[in-house]
């Protein structure tokens, strides 16, 4: 086994895409060595890094999993809900292709000379 690995070696070892490894390198998340433009990884560093990212699974039943999903879901602000509702109402209003949006056809509106 080689002591230093290339990007391709690490991708094969971790079963991930090259772009993911490059993003980890650029953000400084994964331990690596730079030799000019070359990027190398030490096998023992990658093993330690992976062990540090280990998460234990929790045995949770379906009902508890559903509750956890709703609790962990990102909260939506009132402003975004109002904007979304307004956009839906505006989009659902019917207008034919020949009339202008917002024109009240068929309603008896009072104009300048009485009822229309």
Domain containing residue 53: CATH number: 1.10.1660
**Within a domain: 114:** no
Q: How far is CA 20 from CA 8, 11, 26, 35, 89, in A?
A: 12, 9, 10, 20, 41
**Within a domain: 6:** yes
Contact in structure between 47 and 3 (CB atoms under 8 Å): no
pLDDT for res 74: 67
The tens digit of pLDDT for each residue in 19-40 reads 999 999 999 999 999 999 999 9
- In the chain, which residues have pLDDT < 50? none
pLDDT for res 1: 62
**Within a domain: 112:** no
Note the Cα 51 to chain centre separation in Å.
26
**Within a domain: 41:** yes
Contact in structure between 8 and 22 (CB atoms under 8 Å): no
**Within a domain: 1:** yes
pLDDT for res 61: 74
Predicted model pTM: 0.48
**Within a domain: 95:** no
**Within a domain: 79:** no
**Could you give the number of structural domains in the chain?**
1
**Within a domain: 77:** no
Range of the domain at 30: 1-72
pLDDT for res 45: 93
Q: How many helices (H) and strands (E) does the chain have?
A: 5, 5
């Amino acid at each position: 086994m080689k002591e230093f690995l290339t990007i391709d070696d690490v991708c094969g070892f971790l079963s991930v895409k090259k772009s993911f490894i490059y993003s980890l390198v650029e953000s400084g998340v994964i331990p690596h060595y730079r030799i000019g433009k070359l990027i190398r990884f030490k096998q023992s560093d990658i093993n330690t890094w992976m062990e540090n990212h280990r998460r234990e699974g929790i045995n949770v039943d379906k009902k508890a999993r559903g509750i956890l999903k709703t609790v962990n879901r990102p909260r939506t602000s009132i402003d975004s809900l109002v904007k979304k509702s307004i956009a839906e109402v505006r989009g659902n209003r019917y207008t034919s292709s020949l009339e202008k949006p917002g024109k009240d056809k068929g309603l008896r509106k009072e104009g300048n000379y009485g009822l229309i």
